[in-house]
């Protein structure tokens, strides 16, 4: 969703701002803008609807705006349609204050009305402009920008990350945060703000993750952080060890394709450091055997693909732990009066660590007294910092909107926690524990084995890309995996697609199967293979075309009935979805490619959804 970048230093700000915005393009946006403050031209603002290229052309690659200080923004419309006027930065009426904002100001209508009664004229439909005008109002009142920011923050409700510049302050950017991520980056004779670390990775790895309620003042030589009463704070720095190249396409046609191919390495990074002496060792989490024994209920809360990772892990954990696991959509969890007490273990799964619904659900779980664990990829993200414990997936930056390595490392991380708890609780036989752990470590090689001959998946995509409606069917873990496979396909190819538990077909969905309907039949879960085959026969009898995904050893049986078969190497049955998902990701990718879709930035979608 929206992206923020800010720069103050000794070089021209505009090209740095445009480049920072380009690094965040993947988040999804519909307009962009920059504001620069310079000694000759004062405060200059340019914005444009559409892709960043339009802004770059408009500003002659930034050359039209001069000065060593500025802010930039990519907007994903919430309040007001995507157009030039609603794009950020927003400028206050007297033209002195420019501001970029991520989040939503919930009481903006009330403030807007009040300001209009004072004669303020608004130009946009956004909630964000209200903050710019309110700042001007308080600045006129008190004459100090930091004080005006403090007063303004006490008045506004909702979520915000703010970057502010003022014509009267030629050397400073002011930043503030509540419930929306904002990072302070320390460079040499230059400093940065960014909503996303990838935007500043080229310049610095020395950062502070701002906390809620904090305000920061940046100049080229210093960053001062204050609490909401403007008392100075001494904040700890963090070091970002992401590889800058990992956030570049590096010759691949799409980030999604690159990230699919990166999965073996990503899973290795998730798993290897956490296995020692044949055991899972989770130094990162402080969960004791005593607490583990008291767990009576487990919730996994998440959105999108992370929710589907939870669906897979429900099967895995219930098998390993013999405890009930409920997977709940974060957007539902927060309003469903969940049954949480101190013996409830709540796992928030989020690649970005910033998904607002997941964050709110996590807070609700904590409020009710549950113990929380975050499974996140982005170090220092809000969810990671608020949970009692965090297990990072260490997948490296994921840029494509549709997740691949984010999802598969969530599976691996949750497999590790499941094994760890099973070990503490003694709910799994040693031989079984060893077998699963050995296979978990072998996953990267087996995945690589499949990736060496994925052309058959590419071929089937070219054969079936023109279907308008596709069904994924499977049982047990195959059903859970099908949910993610179907989501991938619809997200990036815009084909209507649904995933069903095969056993449910005859209770409704089978009426949708007609001659030529494409059914992706998942038959990788060996214990239920025969039942999966019966369902293939059922849909074939109604004229469906069946593309099956199974394991190498079951391929021959599947070929007797399905029209086309893709096979993957065998692993422990609980881990099979980690391999089975790869052909489904590639199938979605190649179908979308054939249909000419914007694979890395599908329409209407955003990488991290920071609004409810
Ligand atoms: C968005 C993304 C999905 C992702 C979901 C949850 O919808 O497009 O790929 O699965 O958010 O994101 P999270 O960062 O919380 O895992």
Q: pLDDT tens digit string along 234-256?
A: 999 998 877 666 677 777 889 99
Which pair of tokens denotes residue 6? Answer: 């800010």
Question: Would you say 8 and 219 are in contact if contact means Cβ atoms under 8 Å apart?
Answer: yes
In a domain, 395, yes or no: yes
CA distance 286 to 8: 40
pLDDT per residue as tens digits for the range 548-579: 999 999 999 999 999 999 999 999 999 999 99
Which pair of tokens denotes residue 297? Answer: 């209920």
Q: How many CA atoms lie within 13 A of 446 on its CB side?
A: 22
Q: How many CA atoms lie within 13 A of 345 on its CB side?
A: 24
76, 352, 390: which to mutate for ligand 1, most atoms within 8 A of CB? 352
Distance 581 CA to ligand 1 centre (A): 17
CA distance 82 to 84: 7
**CATH code of the domain covering residue 236:** 3.60.20.10
The predicted pLDDT at position 260 comes to 97
DSSP single-letter state for residue 571: -
In a domain, 342, yes or no: yes
Count of beta carbons in the 10 Å neighbourhood of residue 49 = 19
Average pLDDT over residues 275-286: 92
CA distance 576 to 588: 19
Helices H, strands E: what count in the chain? 19, 27
For 520, phi and psi rounded to 5 degrees? -95, 105
CA distance 200 to 217: 18
CA distance 476 to 474: 7
**CATH code of the domain covering residue 377:** 3.40.50.10490
Single out the residue in 241, 256, 279 at which a domain terminates: 241
Residues 460 and 445 in one domain: no
Q: Which residues are catalytic?
A: 2, 607
Residues 219 and 326 in one domain: no
Nearest CA to ligand 1 atom 5: 304
In a domain, 603, yes or no: no
Residues 285 and 434 in one domain: yes
In a domain, 601, yes or no: no
Sign (positive/negative) of CA torsion 87, 91, 95, 97?
A: negative
> What is the DSSP code string of 462-484?
HHHTT-SEEEEEESTHHHHHHHH
Is the predicted pLDDT of residue 273 greater than 70, yes or no? yes
Sign (positive/negative) of CA torsion 219, 224, 227, 230?
A: negative
Is the predicted pLDDT of residue 612 greater than 70, yes or no? no
End-to-end CA distance of the chain: 12
- 7 forms bridges with which residues in the sheet? 70, 192
* Nearest ligand 1 atom, CA 406: 16
Is the predicted pLDDT of residue 585 greater than 70, yes or no? yes
403, 589, 601: which to mutate for ligand 1, most atoms within 8 A of CB? 403
CA distance 22 to 246: 15
For 201, phi and psi rounded to 5 degrees? -60, -30
Residues 398 and 365 in one domain: yes
pTM: 0.78
pLDDT band at 406 (very low <50, low <70, confident <90, very high): very high
Is the predicted pLDDT of residue 606 greater than 80, yes or no? no
Long-range contacts of 22-25 (CB under 8 A, 24+ apart): 22/52, 23/196, 23/198, 23/199, 23/201, 23/202, 23/247, 24/74, 24/194, 24/195, 24/196, 24/198, 24/199, 25/51, 25/52, 25/74, 25/601
CA distance 6 to 165: 9
> What is the DSSP code string of 336-379?
S-----TTEEEEEEESSS--HHHHHHHHHHHHTT-EEEEEESST
pLDDT per residue as tens digits for the range 414-464: 999 999 999 999 999 999 999 999 999 999 999 999 999 888 898 899 889
Distance 437 CA to ligand 1 centre (A): 28
Distance 506 CA to ligand 1 centre (A): 32
Share of the chain above pLDDT 90, in %: 77
Nearest CA to ligand 1 atom 7: 304
Residues 223 and 271 in one domain: no
CA separation, residue 579 to residues 269, 300, 309, 397 (Å): 16, 22, 13, 21
For 416, phi and psi rounded to 5 degrees? -65, -45
- Spatial neighbors of 452 by CB under 8 A, at least 6 apart, are none
Average pLDDT over residues 320-344: 93
* Nearest ligand 1 atom, CA 28: 8
Determine the angle formed by the axes of helices 477-493 and 304-321, rounding to 10 degrees.
Answer: 170
Whole-number average pLDDT of the chain = 93
Residues 382 and 260 in one domain: yes
Single out the residue in 431, 451, 471 at which a domain terminates: 451
DSSP single-letter state for residue 9: S
Which pair of tokens denotes residue 142? Answer: 């008190």
In a domain, 549, yes or no: yes
In a domain, 602, yes or no: no
CA distance 306 to 409: 10
pLDDT band at 188 (very low <50, low <70, confident <90, very high): very high
Average pLDDT over residues 267-272: 97
The predicted pLDDT at position 514 comes to 86
Residues 459 and 432 in one domain: no
Determine the angle formed by the axes of helices 430-451 and 576-594, rounding to 10 degrees.
Answer: 20
Nearest CA to ligand 1 atom 3: 304
pLDDT band at 1 (very low <50, low <70, confident <90, very high): low
The predicted pLDDT at position 34 comes to 97
Average pLDDT over residues 148-158: 94
The predicted pLDDT at position 462 comes to 84
pLDDT per residue as tens digits for the range 347-403: 999 999 999 999 999 999 999 999 999 999 998 889 999 999 999 999 999 989 999
Share of the chain above pLDDT 70, in %: 98
The predicted pLDDT at position 435 comes to 97
Residues in the ligand 1 pocket, defined by CB under 6 Å: 303-306, 350-352, 355, 358, 401-403, 605, 607-609
In a domain, 360, yes or no: yes
Residues 444 and 475 in one domain: no
Residues 272 and 415 in one domain: yes
Angle at 308 between CA 302 and CA 314, to 5 degrees: 90
pLDDT band at 71 (very low <50, low <70, confident <90, very high): very high
**Nearest Cα to Cα of residue 440 among 571, 309, 313, 281:** 571
Average pLDDT over residues 159-181: 93
CA separation, residue 174 to residues 43, 149, 283, 435 (Å): 15, 8, 38, 54
Residues 159 and 32 in one domain: yes
Which pair of tokens denotes residue 359? Answer: 């964050």
Q: What kind and span of H or E run contains 394?
A: none
Residues 538 and 563 in one domain: yes
- Structurally, how many domains does the chain consist of? 3
* Nearest ligand 1 atom, CA 491: 8
Least confident range of 21-35, 239-253, 329-343:
239-253
- Alpha helices, DSSP H, located in 368-470: 382-386, 405-425, 430-451, 455-464
Query: Which residue, chain included where needed, has tokens 């994924």?
Result: 472
- The residue segments making up the domain with residue 191 are 2-241
Which pair of tokens denotes residue 209? Answer: 């993750």
* Nearest ligand 1 atom, CA 383: 15
Is the predicted pLDDT of residue 610 greater than 80, yes or no? no
Residues 269 and 218 in one domain: no
Q: Is residue 170 exposed (0-12), middle (13-18) or buried (19+ Cβ within 10 Å)?
A: middle
2, 259, 304, 327: which to mutate for ligand 1, most atoms within 8 A of CB? 304
Distance 304 CA to ligand 1 centre (A): 5
Single out the residue in 416, 451, 486 at which a domain terminates: 451
In a domain, 470, yes or no: yes
């Amino acid at each position: 969703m929206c992206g923020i970048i800010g720069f103050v230093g000794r070089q021209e700000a505009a090209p740095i701002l445009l480049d920072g915005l380009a690094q965040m393009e993947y988040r999804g946006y519909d307009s962009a803008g920059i504001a620069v403050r310079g000694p000759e031209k004062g405060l200059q603002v340019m914005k444009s609807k559409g892709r960043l290229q339009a802004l770059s052309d408009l500003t002659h690659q930034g050359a039209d705006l001069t000065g060593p200080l500025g802010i930039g923004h990519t907007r994903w419309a919430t309040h007001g349609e995507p157009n030039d006027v609603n794009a950020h930065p927003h400028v206050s009426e007297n033209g002195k204050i420019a501001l970029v904002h991520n989040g939503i100001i919930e009481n903006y209508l009330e403030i807007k009305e009040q300001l209009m009664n004072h004669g303020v004229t608004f130009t946009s439909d956004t909630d964000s402009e209200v903050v710019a005008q309110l700042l001007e109002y308080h600045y006129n009142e008190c004459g100090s920008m930091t004080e005006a920011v403090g007063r303004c923050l006490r008045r506004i409700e909702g979520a915000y990350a703010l970057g502010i510049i003022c014509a009267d302050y030629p050397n400073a950017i002011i930043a503030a945060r509540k419930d929306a991520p904002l990072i302070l980056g320390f460079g040499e004779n230059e400093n940065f703000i960014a909503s996303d670390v990838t935007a500043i990775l080229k310049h610095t790895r020395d950062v502070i993750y701002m906390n809620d309620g904090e305000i920061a003042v940046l100049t080229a030589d210093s960053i001062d952080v204050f609490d909401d009463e403007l008392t100075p704070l001494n904040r700890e720095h963090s070091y970002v060890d992401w590889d800058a190249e990992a956030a570049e396409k590096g010759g691949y046609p799409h980030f999604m394709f690159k990230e699919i191919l990166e999965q073996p390495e990503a899973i290795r990074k998730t798993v290897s450091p956490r296995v020692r002496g044949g055991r899972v060792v989770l130094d990162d989490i402080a969960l004791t055997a005593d607490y583990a024994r008291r767990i009576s209920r487990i919730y996994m809360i998440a959105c999108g693909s992370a929710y589907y990772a939870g669906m897979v892990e429900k099967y895995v954990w219930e098998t390993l732990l013999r405890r009930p696991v409920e997977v709940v959509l974060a957007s539902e969890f927060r309003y469903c009066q969940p049954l949480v007490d101190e013996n409830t273990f709540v796992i928030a799964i989020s690649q970005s660590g910033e998904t607002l619904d997941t964050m709110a659900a996590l807070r609700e779980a904590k409020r009710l007294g549950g113990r929380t664990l975050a499974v996140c990829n982005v170090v220092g993200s809000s969810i990671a910092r608020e949970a009692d414990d965090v297990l990072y997936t260490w997948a490296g930056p994921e840029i494509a909107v549709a997740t691949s390595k984010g999802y598969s490392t969530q599976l691996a991380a949750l497999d590790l926690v499941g094994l760890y708890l099973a070990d503490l609780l003694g709910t799994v036989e040693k031989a079984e524990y060893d077998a699963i752990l050995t296979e978990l470590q072998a996953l990267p090689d087996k995945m690589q084995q499949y990736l060496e001959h994925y052309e058959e998946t590419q071929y089937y995509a070219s054969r079936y890309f023109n279907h308008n409606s596709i069904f994924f069917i499977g049982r047990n873990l195959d059903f859970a995996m099908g949910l993610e496979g179907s989501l991938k396909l619809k997200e990036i190819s815009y084909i209507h697609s649904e995933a069903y538990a095969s056993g449910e077909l005859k209770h409704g969905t089978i009426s949708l199967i007609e001659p030529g309907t494409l059914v992706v039949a998942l038959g990788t879960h060996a214990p239920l293979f025969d039942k999966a085959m019966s369902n293939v026969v059922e849909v074939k009898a109604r004229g469906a075309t069946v593309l099956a995904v199974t394991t190498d050893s079951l391929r021959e049986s599947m070929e007797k009935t399905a029209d086309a078969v893709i096979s993957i190497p065998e692993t422990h049955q609980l881990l099979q979805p980690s391999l089975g998902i790869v052909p489904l990701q590639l199938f979605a990718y190649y179908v979308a490619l054939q249909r000419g879709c914007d694979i890395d930035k599908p329409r209407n979608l955003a990488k991290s959804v920071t609004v409810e």
